[in-house]
Structure 1
């Protein structure tokens, strides 16, 4: 149940991998006009979403003015709730978590993520528990899965002949309990 609650809290999040961050600036500055690293990430992401994904929010969301604090000519910044860099592997770009105001915005970006492939990779932000299930399914030769993925609260596996199977997220709990005995 705790895993479900944690994953539910991440439903509006995506994780960005292999993104070369914009030029680094100090975290805290004495000059109020200088931008911090987080603001650079935010501005860079907004620019990429406009150019590559061609997110034109008034067409995608006709009622965009109904979002809280979402007025003015450019609503994209208002639909990005938070952008946070998280620790990653040494000598690799750190992963970045992007939290959108709502799931609809996240889904629109996820559907157009192919346009972002040359810039960075966009994936769902999933818990360690779900990621280990996906890894376990992908590596299990008995299942003969071509790929495993997370979508809309469930983990799926696709066989070589394109048959899709849904796996219960609690499958790992059963395995961990049997290992403990």
Structure 2
């Protein structure tokens, strides 16, 4: 019993000593110390995490910048390629324009030469056709009767029928005379020949014929005629004569003339 009493007494002394040694201030310092250590650990952990995130971000930014730089190079290459293509297209267009100009000039010259070769030709429509006929003789008779035109067979270089798609009408006649004076003598009597149901005309090339048709169907054209190898037209409400070529843009040429009548 005495030992137990001694132990209890010692415990009371220790408890009393502890109460005296651990104050509120000490506890505050301990808590602060613990919190500080925890904050330091959290800070280090956050810094580590931030550094990891920053590294990932920088790496991705670097990859993205590489891709942007690559795209920039591709864009520059595409711009250079596009510039080369534009130059090539301009060159091709210039070449095409030259080719078109040369082709049109060649086409116009060819048509002119063909028309010139026909300058002494006359086409006759409606001349009765018979088996074994002498076309030159029939033409001379026809011209002498209604038109009183003296055309001798020796003034005719060639006379023959042309193919025709109409089976119920006589085939047209192509007549080639020696010179333009003879042709003019015949063409002056077209009205008298027409009164007999026969029509005579110039031997116009297919391209010039199409040009005459285009002009005849134009709303701003009042008159179209062929003269000395060329096609002419007169506009509505105008006395001006306009010479047309097969390569002309008919609408454009007429618009220009309407805007500037004096030119």
TM over 0.5: yes
**Partner Cα separation in structure 2 for residue 84 and residue 54 of structure 1:** 22
**Partner Cα separation in structure 2 for residue 107 and residue 160 of structure 1:** 29
Number of residue equivalences: 140
Normalising by structure 2, report the TM-score. 0.49
CA offsets per residue over residues 82-128 of structure 1, 9 Å max, x none?
11111112223211100001111001100111110123100100100
CA offsets per residue over residues 131-179 of structure 1, 9 Å max, x none?
00000001122xx22221111121111334462422232435x68xxxx
Give the strand-richer structure, 1 or 2. Answer: 1
Matched, 1:11 2:119: yes
**Partner Cα separation in structure 2 for residue 83 and residue 164 of structure 1:** 37
**Partner Cα separation in structure 2 for residue 120 and residue 164 of structure 1:** 31
Q: From 225, 241, 245, give the equivalent of 1:165.
A: 241
Q: Secondary structure at the match of 1:99?
A: strand
Q: 1:119 to 1:157 in 2, by over 3 A?
A: same
**Partner Cα separation in structure 2 for residue 56 and residue 140 of structure 1:** 39
| 8 Å CA contact retained: 2:125, 2:198 | yes
**Partner Cα separation in structure 2 for residue 149 and residue 111 of structure 1:** 15
Structure 2 match to 1:80: 156
Structure 2 residue runs of 5 or longer lacking an equivalent are 1-108, 251-263
Matched, 1:55 2:158: no
**Partner Cα separation in structure 2 for residue 53 and residue 155 of structure 1:** 26
Larger RCO (alpha carbons 8 Å, 6+ apart): 1
Matched, 1:94 2:171: yes
Structure 1 residue runs of 5 or longer lacking an equivalent are 25-35, 58-75, 176-181
Q: Secondary structure at the match of 1:148?
A: strand
Q: Could you say what the CA RMSD is over the residues aligned between the two structures, in angstroms?
A: 2.0
Q: Secondary structure at the match of 1:171?
A: coil
**Partner Cα separation in structure 1 for residue 161 and residue 216 of structure 2:** 27
Normalising by structure 1, report the TM-score. 0.70
Instruction: Tell which structure's C-alpha radius of gyration is larger.
Output: 2
Matched, 1:131 2:209: yes
**Partner Cα separation in structure 2 for residue 113 and residue 97 of structure 1:** 15
Displacement of 1:8 in angstroms is 0.5
Matched, 1:156 2:232: yes
Please list every run of at least 4 consecutive aligned residues from structure 1 whose deviation after the TM superposition is greater than 3 angstroms.
159-162
| 8 Å CA contact retained: 1:157, 1:166 | yes
